[in-house]
Amino acid sequence: MKRRRMGSGIRRLGLLLLGIVAGAQAFEPLPEKPIAPATNPTTPAKVALGKALYFDPRLSVDGSVSCNSCHNVMGGGEDGRSFSMGVRGQLGGRSSPTVWNAAFLSVQFWDGRAPSLEEQAKGPMINPVEMGNPDHAAVVKRLQGIEGYKPLFKQAFNAPQITIDRVAQAIAAYERTLITPDSSLDRYLKGDKKALNESQVRGMQAFQDVGCVACHSGAAFAGPALPEGQGFYQKLPTFPGSAYDAKYRLTEDTGRFQVTHQEADRHMFRVPTLRNVALTAPYFHNGSVPTLEEAVRVMAKAQLNKELDDGQVLDLTAFLGALTGTFPRQEMPQLPPTPGRTAFAP
C-alpha cells in the first residue's frame, strides 16, 4: 500500500512539473478543432444524429432531462446552478462542468472517472439522479421505438441498428464540434497586440507570476496535453486551513477518492478548463463561489497560499475574460416524432 501511494504521489508530481514546464512556455491559441479518435471519426451525419440525441429529453426515464438541460449550449455549456437538477427534481452532488471545449480534455467529469467523451455520454443516462434509466437497454429500446431515428443511425453508421455505443459515439461526435476559438487572447497570440487591453496584459503576466499557470496551462488552460484517459489532477485545497475552507465547503467533497478509493486521491479533482470561465458562474466543483473575482481570490489562497490585492484581482479577472471565445451558432434540432403515441407508453 505504501508503495502504491508513493507511486501515485510521484505521478502527481510529474504531472505538476509538466504543467509548470508548459506554463513557462508561451500561451497557446486554441485549435480550430480537436482530433477525433480513430474508433469514432467525425462525419456530418454522425454530428447531426448526435445533436438530435443531445437535445432529446427522451433519453431520460421520464422525458424531463436532456444532455442540454445540464450542459446548455445556448449559453456557457453548463446550467448556472450550484448543483444540477436531474429527473424528478433531484439535485446532483456537483456543479455541471462546461461542455464547450471538453473535447480537449483527456478525461471527463470533475473526478476524471470517464476516459473519453464517449464514456462520459453513457454515464448520466443510467445515473438515478441525472437521467434515471434502469440500464442502457432501456434507453436503446425507447430509441428503437422512435422510427425517425433509424434512418439517422443508418446515415451515421451505415446500419440502422441502434446500440448504446453508437448513441454515445454520435453524442461525442457532436460535442467535438463545440469549440470556441478566436478569443481576444487567441488573436493576441496570433499577432494582434491590440486584442488585449492594458489590464488584460497585466493580468496575463500576473497569471504567470502568481503561479496560476502551473496547473492552468496548455491551449485549454486545463493542464498539459495528455493521452486520452490520463487525467491532470490537483488537490483542492492544496493549502488547507484558510477561512475559505468552511465558507465554501472546500473539504467536504473527497473528489477522485470516490472513484479510486486510494488515499492519495482524496480531494483530487481534474483541473478544469478556464476557456469561457467568465460565463460559467458559479464556480468550483460544488458551485459554491458566486463570482469570478471571488474565485480568483479563493484559488490564490487555497492553491498557492497567496493573498492578492484588489489590483491583481481586477487584472487577473480581466485576463480570464479574454479567454471567452467565439461560439459556433447553435440551432435547436427537429427531433424525430412518435405520431399518434407517446414514447413512454408502458
Average pLDDT, the chain: 93
Q: Is residue 46 over pLDDT 90?
A: yes
Per-residue pLDDT band at 345 (split at 50, 70, 90): confident
Residue 286 exposure: Cα atoms within 13 Å on the Cβ side: 14
- Is residue 345 included in any domain, yes or no? no
- Is residue 112 included in any domain, yes or no? yes
Binding residues for heme c: 67, 70-71, 212, 215-216, 299
Last residue of a domain, one of 175, 193, 222: 175
Q: Is residue 169 over pLDDT 60?
A: yes
Asked if 170 and 66 sit in the same domain, the reply is yes
Asked if 215 and 171 sit in the same domain, the reply is no
Predicted local distance difference test score (pLDDT) of residue 250: 98
Predicted local distance difference test score (pLDDT) of residue 25: 52
Q: Is residue 183 over pLDDT 80?
A: yes
Q: How far apart are CA 79 and CA 291, in angstroms?
A: 15
Q: Is residue 23 over pLDDT 50?
A: no
The CATH code of the domain that includes 156 is: 1.10.760.10
- Is residue 188 included in any domain, yes or no? yes
Asked if 223 and 266 sit in the same domain, the reply is yes
Percentage of the residues of the chain whose pLDDT score is greater than 70:
92
Structural domain for 270, as ranges: 2-30+181-321
pTM: 0.92
- Is residue 92 included in any domain, yes or no? yes
- Is residue 337 included in any domain, yes or no? no
Asked if 210 and 268 sit in the same domain, the reply is yes
Asked if 22 and 64 sit in the same domain, the reply is no
Asked if 192 and 129 sit in the same domain, the reply is no
Predicted local distance difference test score (pLDDT) of residue 5: 46
Predicted local distance difference test score (pLDDT) of residue 20: 44
Q: Which three cell numbers stand for residue 213?
A: 499557470
Per-residue pLDDT band at 282 (split at 50, 70, 90): very high
Instruction: Choose, from 118, 130, 175, 294, the residue flagged as catalytic.
Output: 130
Q: Is residue 21 over pLDDT 90?
A: no
From the list 222, 253, 228, 278, the residue with the least C-alpha distance to 18 is 222
Asked if 75 and 207 sit in the same domain, the reply is no
Q: Is residue 4 over pLDDT 90?
A: no
Predicted local distance difference test score (pLDDT) of residue 343: 93
Q: Is residue 36 over pLDDT 90?
A: yes
Predicted local distance difference test score (pLDDT) of residue 102: 98
Beta bridge partners of 235: 268
Asked if 55 and 12 sit in the same domain, the reply is no
Asked if 89 and 17 sit in the same domain, the reply is no
Task: Work out the angle between the directed axes of helices 310-321 and 292-304 (0-180°, nearest 10).
Answer: 110
Asked if 290 and 191 sit in the same domain, the reply is yes
Q: Give mean pLDDT, residues 191-205.
A: 97
Predicted local distance difference test score (pLDDT) of residue 6: 47
Q: Is residue 7 over pLDDT 60?
A: no
Q: How far apart are CA 277 and CA 101, in angstroms?
A: 11
Number of domains in the chain: 2
3-state secondary structure of 108: strand
Asked if 106 and 8 sit in the same domain, the reply is no
- Is residue 230 included in any domain, yes or no? yes
Last residue of a domain, one of 160, 175, 190: 175
Predicted local distance difference test score (pLDDT) of residue 214: 94
- Is residue 340 included in any domain, yes or no? no
H-assigned helices in 224-271? 243-247, 257-260
Asked if 204 and 132 sit in the same domain, the reply is no
Is 331 among the residues known to form the active site?
A: no
Binding residues: 67, 70-71, 212, 215-216, 299
Summarised one tens digit per residue, pLDDT across range 51-104 is: 999 999 999 999 999 999 999 999 999 999 999 999 999 999 999 999 999 999
- Is residue 154 included in any domain, yes or no? yes
Predicted local distance difference test score (pLDDT) of residue 346: 67
